[in-house]
Amino acid sequence: MARHYRALHEGPNLKYFKINIRESDLAIGVDNKSYTDSLVSLSHQELRRIRAGLENYIKLQPEFQTSLVPLPLLTGAPEIVRRMGRAAWAAGVGPMAAVAGAVSEMIGEKLLETCSEVVVENGGDIFLKSESERIIAIFAGPSKFTYKIGIRVAAYETPLGICTSSGTVGPSLSFGKADAVVIKGTTAALADAAATAAANRVKTAEDLMKAVDFVKGITGITGILAIKDDKMAAWGRIEMVPIDRRKYGESS
């Protein structure tokens, strides 16, 4: 799908590039001083390696790709599968609910071997390591809050995952109708799985606190912002800041 929001990326001191292999479509930013053209090929090579491990594992355990509940893993599962499996058990969802976050995280960790700052965005699921505070703008589809608010992330909180699930935006499977459920977590795989599970619980604006109450019980989740229509609910380490919508081509 078209990811028009990527034209709005403007992180200070970051150099951006994109890589994609079939369903995996990543936008990556690294600090200017660390950037070299070789990072693009390195990231593409790492994505190919991660995907190969996952695809080969699915051939051995096909239900890993389709299950809507956590699964015991086969012996010798690759790292990407183990991360997805742990996140699935923590959030009570199928392991594929964590795939985008897990991929972002593993690519980000590879880049951190040579870069001091990294952001990897994979369909709204983000791995972030920063030496300064960053503002993550919120896209919540038809909600009036889209591009009007952001979440401030302090440098000391990173590395972390900040992932979004929606029942009104994008192709991902959701059993809810939330415009956006944004989760901050100690890992991107966990944040991705928890965002899916929390968003599944939101059918109307009256359900927002169900999502909040659910994630409070998951170790490693540090915050949530849930949006439906003109209402929102938040908990944890969530600092919201206003954004000037005129920067995004909209009237204020």
* Residue 228, domain CATH: 3.10.520.10
For range 114-137, the mean pLDDT? 94
Percent of the chain at pLDDT above 90? Answer: 79
pLDDT of residue 42: 96
174 vs 205, residue with greater confidence: 205
Global pTM reads: 0.90
Whether the per-residue pLDDT at 250 is higher than 50: the answer is no
Whether the per-residue pLDDT at 187 is higher than 80: the answer is yes
Can you give the residue range of the structural domain that contains 42? 4-248
pLDDT of residue 1: 47
* Cα-to-chain-centroid distance, residue 137: 13
How many whole angstroms separate alpha carbon 77 and alpha carbon 58? Answer: 10
pLDDT of residue 3: 47
* φ/ψ (deg, to 5) at 126: -120, 135
**Cβ atoms 179, 168 nearer than 8 A:** yes
Number of domains in the chain: 1
* Type of residue at 219: T
pLDDT of residue 7: 46
Whether the per-residue pLDDT at 166 is higher than 90: the answer is no
